[in-house]
Structure 1
Amino acid sequence: MPDAGGAMRIAIVGAGMAGLSCGQRLSRLGHEVRLFDKGRGPGGRMATRRMEDGGTTLHFDHGAQYFTARDPRFVEQVAHWEASGVAARWAAAGDDAWVGTPAMNAPLKAMAGELGVQFGTRIEQLVRDGEGWQIDGEGAPDARFDAVLVAVPAEQAGPLLQPHAPAMARLADQTASDPCWTLMAGFEAPLALVQDTLRQRGPIGWAARNNAKPGRANEECWVIQASPEWSRAHLEEDAE
């Protein structure tokens, strides 16, 4: 139960942009918030991957390539990120395009630093325990919460919600994400291309010179993402 002051113990499943934003807001309102995520660190759809090649570290933003800020509240948040050095404009993707610096997940790392986030925790079940909730799964704590918020993709949300909110579970099950085959490629020298981005070129939905984004290293790294149509047609094929 909430304490006498109305503060609650809240568990949030998912530490992507949605989960972290929700946790940040609830924490500032005085609630005790804990977040759980199956990943190794902040990222979600704004994921960044590092790879070693002959002693050189290559960086790839293999999730969202950029984001835009139009809602006044989000514009204010992005201005704060810019002032903090974790976001910058990227004109190559458009006049209203922003990226995290030095990687797309930088704003999420900043938010996670304010909160109690437990990574490497796969939540498989929500258990109603009297007037509270428990979360069950690999690495889950033996703790009781007043409320649980689910902030994961629809495909993962459905099974968690089904025993407690079947209508929401059905909606989640009916919401399919578009697939996206992604190729991460590093080169010894810059490619002889004028532009840093390509859009809608046959099976390629989007391609970007990752090192052209603000705050990146100099190694020539490209992220090439297939269109949803091509990805769906080839979804079950071997990556090689």
Structure 2
Amino acid sequence: MSSTAFKVAVLGGGTRGPGGRMSQRREKTEDGKELHFDHGAPFFSVSNPEVVRLVHEWESRGLVAEWKEKFGSFDFQTLKFDSIEQEGLSKRFVGVPGMNSICKALCNESGVESKFGVGIGRVEWLDDEKLWSLIGVDGQNLGQFKGLVASDKNIVSTRVAEVTGRVPPLDLKLLPELSEKLHNLPVRPCFAVMLAFAEPLSTIPVKGFSIKNSKVLSWAYCDSSKPGRSTTSERWVLHSTAEYAENIIAQTGLKKPSDITLNKVAEELFQEFQSTGANVSQPFFKKAHRWGSAFPAASIAQEEKCLWDRNKRLAICGDFCVSPNVEGAIDSGLAAALRLRDISSSCL
């Protein structure tokens, strides 16, 4: 890359691979079977014309496909499934062969250099050079960049200190005009439980359902029913309510949960799943994962779609800017890209 190139650093939330809530979890059973789960966002829908166009392009490349199954809801008061849709009534898209396929493809675009397993300890603005400098958690200099995009709200969140013991990488004092919006962003925690069954759960009339009148479960879906997935076992993912997750975190704190805590959560969510009366058999695999701060509870830039500091060429984007879903994240990312593209043409 020449010295005149407009190098931009894009900071995401995950260190092991691309995707965030669109990542795919790979697990191994005791006897060596490999299982895959979309344990964050189960699917996404789109309505914004610009995002629809982009999704259709991804669909033509085989990166996404429509998940054409029946969905509904379950009421714990009546112990009945209701609101069952007809197949394919609403368009729900999934990544193929995993939800992370879109993010993986973006990482492989021309001119993109991806690095994983790298933690950012500090982000510094060099006023004399008008450049951003990235310092790793190990003190290593990770380079200097003309622009910076942060797609993870934790780059400025004080929750980072509670989890890791380190201060957030980006000091809000550098962003006086944006700091009020970014300070203490509200989030909804969630626990996900991944289940694998030897036989299909044939008594459940839908492949995904929201749950009413439960303090434990909010959502359940058959991950293996998505297009492009292995069907050697039937895999389900359960999501807890925010209330349940908050209660667990209040007892255990924000640090990485212990195996004892995760096993307790997995058992409690599974028992609630069994309480639907759908004749749920015992799974041969069961594991919980905590999403501590991944689900935003506010939209802080619905009009602008991203936070932008033109002088420092900094864009902060994500679903917490527009709407707390995949379409919101895409819409916000497009807005950030447009601002950087416009300013980069005047800098080169």
What range is the shorter-chain TM-score in? Answer: 0.7 to 0.9
Cα distance, 1:161–1:150 mapped onto 2, change above 3 Å: farther
Match of 2:54?
A: 77
Q: Residue 142 of structure 1: CA displacement?
A: 4.1
Helix, strand or coil: the match of 2:52? helix
Distance 1:188 1:42 in 2: 30
CA contact (8 A) 1:38 1:123 kept: no
> 1:1-240 alignment to 2 at 5 Å?
7-14=5-12, 38-53=14-29, 54-92=31-69, 95-114=90-109, 115-129=112-126, 130-131=128-129, 132-138=131-137, 141-152=141-152, 154-158=153-157, 159=168, 160-192=170-202, 193-201=204-212, 202=214, 203-218=216-231, 219-235=233-249, 236-237=251-252, 238-240=261-263
Q: Distance in 2 between matches of 1:10 and 1:178?
A: 30
| Backbone CA RMSD of aligned residues | 2.1
Measured after TM superposition, the shift of residue 11 of structure 1 is 1.2
CA separation of 1:213/1:142 partners in 2, compared to 1, >3 Å: closer, same or farther?
closer
CA distance in 1, matches of 2:181, 2:119: 22
Q: Distance in 2 between matches of 1:81 and 1:134?
A: 33
Q: Distance in 2 between matches of 1:56 and 1:166?
A: 51
Alignment check: 8 A CA contact 2:119 2:137 kept: yes
Over 3 Å counting, the alpha-carbon distance change for 1:101 and 1:197 in structure 2 is same
Q: How many equivalent residue pairs? A: 214
**CA, structure 1 residues 146+206, in 2 after alignment: closer, same or farther (shift >3 Å)?**
same
Shift of 1:200: 1.6
Moved more, 205-214 or 195-204: 195-204
TM-score, with structure 1 as normaliser: 0.81
Whether the aligned pair in 1 keeps the contact of 2:122 and 2:137 (CA below 8 Å) is no
Unmatched tracts of structure 2, length 5 or more: 72-88, 158-167, 253-260, 264-348
TM-score computed with the length of structure 2 as normaliser: 0.57
Paired residue type of 1:195 = V
CA contact (8 A) 1:188 1:220 kept: yes
Q: Any idea what the Cα deviations from partners look like across 1:32-54, whole Å, max 9, x if unmatched? A: xxxxx642111112011011122
Question: Against the structure 1 CA distance between its residues 222 and 135, is the aligned structure 2 distance closer, same or farther, given a 3 Å change threshold?
Answer: same
Q: Percent identity?
A: 29
Change (3 A) 1:142 1:223: closer
